[in-house]
C-alpha cells in the first residue's frame, strides 16, 4: 500500500494524529513539536502534553558534543564533600540534551513510512520526551538539585530500557519499505549513541555508591575470566531452558588477566556471542544431545588491547548466509511471534546494581537478528572490532578485540 507516502506528501509540514492507527501519532518537523506521553511506552499512569520548539531541537543538536575517555572518567576524583557529584551532574546537564536532540533529529530524517510504524513512532516520542525533560530541568547548583536530577535520570533510563527490542520489532515490520542502507546507518548511530548516553548516565548514578573496586561504572580490577564465565553461565541457562541441554564452557589462554574496564557492555557482547555459539552447537548435534562439544573461549591481553576468541563446533555458517550475518534483522530463527525482550538487553540498565539478569526464561536464544550487528556496533564504539571466521561443516570462531582504558595508549571516547 502507498497511502502513507501519499499522506506524507500532502502533510509534510503538519503535525497530526494519524487516522491510520490510533497508536500511531506521526509527528513531522514543524515550528513546534507536540509530545503526548503514552502510558504504555513510558510506564506512567497519566498522559501529559509537552511542547518543544523545532528551533530548540535544531540548535541543541548542532552544538558540539564532548566525548570523554574512560581514563578521564576513572581519574576524575571522588571527594567527601560531594563536589565531584555536582561537577558530574553539571557536565551531564550540558551534554545529554545535545546527544538526545541529535537522536530526535535523526528520527525526523527517517522516511515517513518508517515513522508511520507505531513502534518506531513510540520510540521517537520516547526520545522527544527525554529531551523535553532534560532540556527543561532547572540548573543543578547544589547537591539537593543533584539528587533530583539523579531521580530524573533514573526514570529516563528505566523508560528507555527496552529501546533495542522495540527498534528491532519496528524495523522488522517496515524493512520491506525502507532501504536497508538507511536502516543500517540509523541503527548504528542510534544504538551506539544510546550506549554512550547510558554509560555516562549510569556512571554518574554509580559515583554516589561505595562499591569495592569500582569508580562509577568502571571496574578497576576486572577479571576477564570471571566476566566470561558469568556470561557463559547466563548463556547456558538460556540454552538449557530452550533445548533442555547446553554445551560446557572451557576458558583458556591468559586466564589471570586483570585490568580496569567497563563490565556492562563487555557482558552484553559476550552473552550474545556465547548464546549464538551454544545454540549452534546444540542444534548441530540434536541427534546426539549427550555429545554436544564444549564451547572454548581463549583469552589474550597485551599492553594496549585484549582479545576474546569464542570457538564452537556448531557446523559453521553456510556461505550463502555469511554476507548477511551482520545485517540487522537477519536471523536463522523462524517464528518471532513468541520472542520476548532479551535479558541481555537489560544489562546496560543494571550497571549500578552490579548483578546482570540471570533468569533463564527471560531471554531467547535468538530471534530479532540484532545480537551480532549490535555487538559489532558496540565493539567498534568501544575502540575495537568483532570478526567472524566460519568453517562450514565444522564450526565458527568469533574474535572480539577491545582496547584497554588505563591511559597507556589512546583509547575510545564515550
Q: Which of 127, 117, 107 is nearest to 175 (CA)?
A: 117
Q: Which of 203, 183, 205 is nearest to 195 (CA)?
A: 203
Residues carrying CATH 3.30.565.10, the chain: 217-403
pLDDT of residue 298: 99
Mapping DSSP onto H, E and C, the string for the chain reads CCHHHHHHHHCCCCECCCCCCCCCCCECCCCEEEEECCHHHHCCCCCCEEEEEHHHHHHHHHCCCCCCCHHHHHCCCCCCCCHHHHHHHHHHHHHHHHHHHHHHHHHHCCCHHHHCCHHHHHHHHHHHHHHHHHHCCCCCCCHHHHHHHHHHHHHHHHHCCCHHHHHHHHHHHHCCCCCHHHHHHHHHHHHHHHHHHHHHHHHHHHHCCCCCCEECCEEEEEEHHHHHHHHHHHHHHHHHHHHCCCCCEEEEECCCCEEEECHHHHHHHHHHHHHHHHHHHHHHCCCCHHHCCCEEEEEEECCCEEEEEEEECCCCCCHHHHCCCCCCCCCCCCCCCCCCCCHHHHHHHCCCCCCCCCCCCCCCCCCCCCHHHHHHHHHHHCCCEEEEEEECCCEEEEEEEEECCCCCCCCCCC
Residues carrying CATH 1.20.140.20, the chain: 54-213
Q: Does domain 54-213 have CATH number 3.10.20.30?
A: no
**Positions in the chain whose pLDDT score sits under 50:** 1-29, 35-49, 334-362, 365
Q: Check residue 298 and give left, alpha or beta (phi > 0: left; psi -120 to 50: alpha).
A: beta
Cell of 60: 541543541
The Cα-based distances of 272 to 68, 75, 180, 253, 381 in angstroms read: 27, 31, 23, 21, 17
pLDDT of residue 227: 98
pLDDT of residue 17: 34
What backbone phi and psi angles, to 5 degrees, belong to 380?
Answer: -65, -45
Are 239 and 246 in contact by the 8 Å Cβ rule? The answer is: yes
pLDDT of residue 52: 82
Distance CA 243, CA 288 (A): 13
Q: Give Cβ neighbours of residue 347 (< 8 Å, ≥ 6 apart).
A: 264, 267, 268, 271, 356, 357
Are 76 and 88 in contact by the 8 Å Cβ rule? The answer is: yes
pLDDT of residue 34: 52
Cα four-point dihedral sign 153, 147, 132, 17: positive
Q: Read off the pLDDT of residues 364-410 as tens digits, 9 standing for 90 and up.
A: 545 567 889 999 999 999 999 999 999 999 999 999 999 999 877 77
Tell how strand 49-53 and strand 32-36 pair up.
Answer: antiparallel
pTM: 0.82
Q: What CATH number should be reported for the domain whose range is 217-403?
A: 3.30.565.10
Cα four-point dihedral sign 106, 199, 74, 142: positive
* Angle value at C-alpha 201, between 52 and 77, nearest 5 degrees: 130
The Cβ of residue 80 has, within 10 Å, a number of other Cβ atoms equal to: 6
Q: Give Cβ neighbours of residue 212 (< 8 Å, ≥ 6 apart).
A: none
Terminal alpha carbon distance of the chain: 42
Distance CA 164, CA 167 (A): 5
Residues of the chain above pLDDT 90, percent: 64
Walk across the sheet containing 305-312 and list its strands.
249-253, 295-301, 305-312, 395-403, 385-391
Amino acid at each position: 500500500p502507498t497511502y502513507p507516502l501519499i499522506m506524507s506528501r500532502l502533510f509534510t509540514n503538519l503535525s497530526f494524529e494519524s487516522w491510520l492507527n490510533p497508536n500511531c501519532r506521526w509527528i513531522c518537523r514543524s515550528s513546534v513539536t507536540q509530545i503526548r506521553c503514552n502510558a504504555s511506552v513510558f510506564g506512567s499512569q497519566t498522559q501529559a502534553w509537552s511542547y518543544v520548539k523545532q528551533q530548540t531541537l535544531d540548535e541543541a543538536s548542532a552544538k558540539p558534543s564532548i566525548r570523554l575517555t574512560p581514563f578521564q572518567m576513572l581519574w576524575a576524583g571522588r571527594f567527601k564533600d560531594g563536589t565531584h557529584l555536582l561537577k558530574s551532574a553539571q557536565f551531564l546537564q550540558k551534554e545529554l540534551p545535545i546527544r538526545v536532540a541529535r537522536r530526535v533529529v535523526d528520527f525526523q530524517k527517517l522516511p515517513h513510512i518508517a515513522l508511520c510504524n507505531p513502534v518506531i513512532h513510540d520510540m521517537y516520542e520516547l526520545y522527544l520526551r527525554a529531551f523535553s525533560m532534560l532540556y527543561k530541568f532547572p540548573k543543578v547548583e547544589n547537591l539537593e538539585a543533584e539528587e533530583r536530577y539523579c531521580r530524573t535520570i533514573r526514570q529516563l533510563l528505566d523508560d528507555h530500557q527496552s529501546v533495542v527490542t522495540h527498534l528491532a520489532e519496528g524495523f522488522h515490520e517496515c524493512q520491506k519499505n525502507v532501504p536497508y542502507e538507511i536502516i543500517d546507518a540509523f541503527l548504528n548511530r542510534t544504538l551506539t549513541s544510546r550506549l554512550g548516553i547510558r554509560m555516562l548516565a549510569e556512571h554518574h548514578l554509580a559515583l554516589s555508591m561505595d562499591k569495592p573496586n569500582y569508580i562509577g561504572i568502571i571496574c578497576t580490577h576486572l577479571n576477564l575470566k570471571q566476566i566470561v564465565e558469568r556470561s557463559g553461565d547466563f548463556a547456558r541457562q538460556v540454552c538449557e531452558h530452550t533445548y533442555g541441554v547446553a554445551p560446557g564452557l572451557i576458558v583458556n589462554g591468559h586466564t589471570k588477566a586483570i585490568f580496569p574496564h567497563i563490565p556492562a557492555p563487555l557482558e552484553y557482547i559476550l552473552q550474545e556471542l556465547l548464546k549464538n555459539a551454544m545454540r549452534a552447537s546444540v542444534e548441530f548435534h540434536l541427534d546426539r544431545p549427550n555429545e554436544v562439544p564444549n564451547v572454548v573461549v581463549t583469552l589474550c591481553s597485551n599492553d594496549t588491547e585484549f582479545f576474546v576468541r569464542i570457538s564452537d563446533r556448531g557446523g559453521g555458517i553456510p556461505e550463502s548466509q555469511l554476507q548477511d550475518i551482520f545485517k540487522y534483522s537477519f536471523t536463522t530463527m523462524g517464528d518471532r511471534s513468541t520472542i520476548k525482550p532479551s535479558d541481555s538487553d537489560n544489562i546496560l540498565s543494571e550497571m549500578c546494581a552490579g548483578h546482570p539478569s540471570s533468569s533463564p526464561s527471560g531471554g531467547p536464544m535468538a530471534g530479532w537478528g540484532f545480537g551480532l550487528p549490535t555487538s559489532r556496533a558496540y565493539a567498534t564504539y568501544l575502540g575495537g572490532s568483532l570478526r567472524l571466521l566460519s568453517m562450514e561443516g565444522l564450526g565458527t570462531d568469533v574474535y572480539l578485540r577491545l582496547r584497554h582504558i588505563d591511559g597507556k595508549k589512546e583509547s575510545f571516547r564515550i
